[in-house]
Amino acid sequence: MRPYLSAVIPVYNEEDNLWPLFDRLVAVLDAIGKPFEIVFTNDGSADRSSAILRELHERRPNEVRVIEFNGNFGQHMAIMAAFEYVRGEIVVTLDADLQNPPEDIPKLLEKIEQGFDVVGGYRRDRQDTWFRRNASRFINLIRARITRIEMRDQGCMLRAYRRHIVDNIATSGEVSTFIPALAYSFAANPTEIEVQHAPRAAGHSKYHLYNLIRLNFDLMTGFSLVPLQVFTMLGFAVSLLSAVLVIYLLLQRIFVGPEVQGVFTLFGIMYFLVGLGIFGLGIIGEYIGRIYLEVRKRPRFVIREVLQRLDGQ
Ligand code: UDP
Ligand code: MG
């Protein structure tokens, strides 16, 4: 029989968080009183996470399932893999670091039961650094403008999905993707609710500036062609402007005579244009990179082992 609820948790070096998370989560799910499963994906942790996940599986062998990756494939691929395994009617994702309180899960379920197929959370009093909060606000704004995705807080991973949404995501086969945005693109009736947010319980964030920038490029190029289109328009505008400049310089040369001054202005303009050109190449490169990843058809992740006990259910 299918469990009512599957909780999906990506884990990357979270040794000090797993037991406290497990205790709180199981308390909440037991209280709901319906069959559930917890699917952890160990995303190539180098600490004791793997051993601890095994202990959790042994503690509740019928409920806890563990997918062991062969390396670090990233948070969204960890969730993707779990989506291929989950059996629940409703699937909830949350982080392993206790920033998303498990106690909020019943609120998400209530909304799903009301008929929404995707329930997103937006974080109240987000407990992250000033830089992260403001960078997110900025990226949320851009995303809202260039994609059709309406989400108050794209970075919040405490979310609930109906079964068919998860099936669509799992079979989409996308390589570098952003799960909440993908879910949104399959949703017929999404909604959002406010959820709590706590400071990370132990350890430190797995996202540095570089992978944050990567993740957001994946989001923009994975869900919108606007960056390319903006660039075409920009190229068009710049060519118009340079045409005006050339005509102006030509007229000046005819009527005023050859000029020597203004060389640096020209350099300034040139560097700007060169910069713009390189930026444009970069954007095209992002899309070509995506196409390359897709056509290469390498596995998106490699699973080393799955701990689960499916009999007796
Ligand atoms: N995570 C993962 N693989 C990664 C990076 C992160 O599975 O490559 C997991 C991590 O263990 C946590 C969740 O994704 O459960 C969110 O990561 P983190 O708390 O570091 O991100 P932040 O809260 O700083 O955005
Ligand atoms: Mg976190």
* Alpha carbon distance 2, 176 (integer Å): 29
Residue 191 CA, ligand 1 centroid: distance in Å: 24
Q: pLDDT digits over 164-198, tens only?
A: 999 999 999 888 899 999 999 999 999 999 999 99
Q: Which atom of ligand 1 is nearest to the CA of 10?
A: 7
Given a contact cutoff of 8 angstroms between Cβ atoms, the answer to whether 9 and 38 are in contact is: yes
Q: Which residue has the higher pLDDT, 253 or 303?
A: 303
Q: Which amino acid is at 142?
A: I
Q: Parallel, antiparallel, or unpaired for β 118-123 and 64-69?
A: unpaired
- Who contacts 272 (Cβ-Cβ below 8 Å, separation ≥6)? none
Q: pLDDT digits over 16-63, tens only?
A: 999 999 999 999 999 999 999 999 999 999 999 999 999 999 999 999
Nearest one of 56, 63, 6, 32 to 312, comparing CA atoms: 63
Given a contact cutoff of 8 angstroms between Cβ atoms, the answer to whether 301 and 81 are in contact is: yes
* Alpha carbon distance 193, 208 (integer Å): 28
SS3 38: strand
> Taking CB atoms and a 6 Å cutoff, what residues make up the pocket around ligand 1?
10-12, 14, 43, 72, 74-75, 78, 95-97, 99, 200, 205-207
Q: How confident is the model at residue 239 (pLDDT cuts 50, 70, 90)?
A: confident
Pocket test for ligand 1, best of 50, 67, 97, 156 (most atoms within 8 A of CB): 97
